[in-house]
Amino acid sequence: MGPQCQAVLLAGGAGASLFPLNHTGNPLALFPVANQPLITYALHTLEQAGVVDVLVVCLGEATAAKVMAWVKNKYSGKLRLKARSVPEDCESADALKAVAEDITAQTFIVMSVDLVTDVCLEAMLAVHFLRNATVTVLLSQRRVSPASETKLGKAPKDVEYVGLDGESRRLVFFRPSPEARRNIKLPMGTLLRQGCLSIRTDLQDNHLYILDRSALALLQAKPALANIKQDLIPYLVRHQHSSGKAASAVRPDSGGPAANGQHESTGSLAATESMEQITLACNYMSMSHSAAALDDSAPGTSYCAAYVAGPEQYCARTVNLQSFSEVNREVVNLELAARLGVQAQPNAKHDNFVDESVQIGSKSTAASGCMVGPGTTLGDKCSIKRSVLGAMCKLGSNVKIINSVLMDSVVVHDGCHLQNCIVCTGAQLQERVSLRDCQVGPGFTVSEGAEHREEVLAKAQQQRRSTDAKT
């Protein structure tokens, strides 16, 4: 692995954005993905890179206690894990400040527990050391959501504006998920120095960073830098270069200096494309700007490196219910599962993961790309497609499950149909229930014959309905 480094795993808290999965207080790090805790994927990535010491940072003492209980009772890997709790409202950079005394290495990795990836972290570390970088950021192709698409002429929604040099080696501009705005301002000194700069909206930051210890010192010196992605990385990118003398403003859509002859310190990129990628050929060095224009624009001491994952590499985060469901189904691909460290034994003949203890009734099928956990029983004429079922589930007859995730000990009675659903541990669906695009909380019972579309069904809602009925 080269020079020794340690890792800081940001394990989060109760996963509030994934309600009702967190209804029983189970930490985000222990949510099941392909029937194993989410944290196991991050630990596998770190272990594969030869990391030994991992500091697991949890939001709140209760989360830290549950994670360490899992480590003590369930974890059997080679990593040395130590958990620290920080206040529940702590942001990512503030969390690093809070545990700074435990970060002793000159180089350290910061990784979010909700990232599932097969990127070779050892290769990313090599890039970081070879470039003597202050920070190296893992970027990958943006996972496209239909909700993020916009009409032609409108700024893309929920994208990150990433500026890379001509060889995509250096991160020279970073604006994470800005609100809709008509213009993105670029430092003119950066444009002049780079010669060729690509501003892209088809990349996403994955919350995996390799940092030099100087970045930690910077955080301690600047309390306003509270969030790694929103504050620290943009700060480091901006301060790679000192602010230069004012240069002629060049607009990408005009191809030359501003027509009015005024001088500005920034160029302005009109963010009006709805394409997946906005590539800006900024060959400004060929213009008539003399070297004198760069007198005070000497690069700073930091170097922000970009590590762009290839299209064949997997990077996904379980940041909401939709992505949680997608990742569950995607990792149950035999080839990908092997790279990610999925612990279940594959059934190569049927291209799926069906535990040998599963009881399958007459004319029931579990298609390729499915996972069925140990002790689960399928009644007659059941059909399971592109879904993940946990351990000890019980399915009656004529049950159809498509694109769904069922956690442990779920009971589904005869004639139920589920599509694009998440059903949490211990939930029960009585006969002839029909659910589409729903989430069912832990221990919730769905009444016989009920039909629900795009609903969250949890005990909190059930209690409110009971109270409303009484009043």
Q: What is the CATH number of the domain that holds 410?
A: 2.160.10.10
Handedness of CA 434, 463, 31, 424 (dihedral sign): negative
Is residue 416, in this structure, part of any structural domain at all? yes
N- to C-terminal Cα separation, the chain: 65
Coil/strand/helix, residue 217: helix
CA atoms of 76 and 47, how far apart (whole Å): 12
96 Cβ contact list (under 8 Å, min separation 6): 8, 103, 110, 216, 219, 228
Residue 332 covered by a domain: no
Q: Quick one: angle between helices 121-130 and 39-48, nearest 10? A: 50
Tens of pLDDT, residue by residue, the chain (471 residues): 445 689 999 999 888 889 999 887 889 999 999 999 999 999 999 999 999 999 999 999 999 999 999 999 999 999 999 999 999 999 999 999 999 999 999 999 999 999 999 999 999 999 999 999 999 999 999 987 544 455 665 666 778 889 898 788 899 889 886 554 555 666 666 666 666 778 888 999 999 999 999 999 999 999 999 999 999 999 999 888 643 332 222 233 333 333 333 333 334 343 333 334 444 333 333 332 322 222 233 344 679 999 999 999 999 999 999 999 999 999 999 999 999 999 999 988 889 999 999 999 999 999 999 999 999 999 999 999 999 999 999 999 999 999 999 999 999 999 999 999 999 999 999 999 999 999 999 999 999 999 999 999 997 654 444 444 444
Domain-embedded: residue 339:
no
Which residue, of 299, 317, 335, is where some domain finishes?
317
Q: Do 72 and 211 fall into the same domain?
A: yes
**Statement to judge: residues 306 and 450 lie in one domain:** no
Residue 340 within a domain: no
Task: Give the CB-side neighbour count of residue 334, counting CA atoms within 13 A.
Answer: 11
- Quote the number of domains for the chain: 2
Residue 264 to residue 247: CA distance in whole angstroms: 6
Same domain, 54 and 126: yes
Three-state DSSP class for 125? helix
Within its chain, how far is the Cα of 134 from the centroid?
A: 22
If asked whether residues 292 and 156 sit together in one domain, one would say: yes
- Is residue 306 domain-shared with residue 386, that is, in the same domain? no
pLDDT at position 137: 97
Looking at the fold, whether 294 and 355 belong to one and the same domain comes out as no
CB distance 27 to 124 below 8 Å: no
- The CATH number assigned to the domain holding 59 equals 3.90.550.10
Evaluate whether residue 179 is within a structural domain.
yes
Kindly state whether residues 15 and 138 are assigned to the same domain.
Answer: yes
Task: Find, among 396, 407, 405, the residue nearest to 431 by Cα.
Answer: 396
Query: Which residues, in sequence order, are CB contacts of 85 under 8 Å at separation 6+?
Result: 57, 58, 59, 60, 61, 63, 64
The pTM for the full model equals 0.84
Residues 29, 159 within the same domain:
yes
Q: Residue with structure tokens 């990628």?
A: 277
Q: Which helix (H) or strand (E) holds 185?
A: strand 183-187
Question: Domain limits at 305?
Answer: 6-144+152-253+265-317
Last residue of a domain, one of 317, 337, 358: 317
Helix H, strand E, coil C: the string for 310-349 is CCCCCEEECCCHHHHHHHHHHCCCHHHHHHHCCCCCCECC
Same domain (yes/no): 380, 299: no
Boundary (domain end) residue, out of 275, 297, 317: 317
- Say if residue 353 is in the same domain as residue 307: no
Whether residue 24 is contained in a domain is answered as yes
Please provide the DSSP assignment of 69-115 as one string: HHHHHH--SS-EEEEEEE-TT--HHHHHHHTGGG--SSEEEEEETTE
Region label for 182, one of left (φ > 0), alpha (ψ between -120 and 50) or beta (otherwise): alpha
Does residue 304 share a domain with residue 378? no
- Is residue 329, in this structure, part of any structural domain at all? no
Give the HSE-up count for residue 405: Cα atoms under 13 Å, Cβ half-sphere: 27
465 assigned to some structural domain: yes
Closest C-alpha among 284, 250, 252 to residue 270: 252
Q: How far apart are CA 299 and CA 221, in angstroms?
A: 21
Q: Is 251 exposed, middle or buried (0-12, 13-18, 19+ CB in 10 A)?
A: middle
Task: Give the integer Cα–Cα distance in Å for 357 and 334.
Answer: 19
Residues 94 and 12 reside in one and the same domain: yes
Per-residue CA distances from 436 to 39, 91, 422, 433 (Å): 29, 35, 10, 10
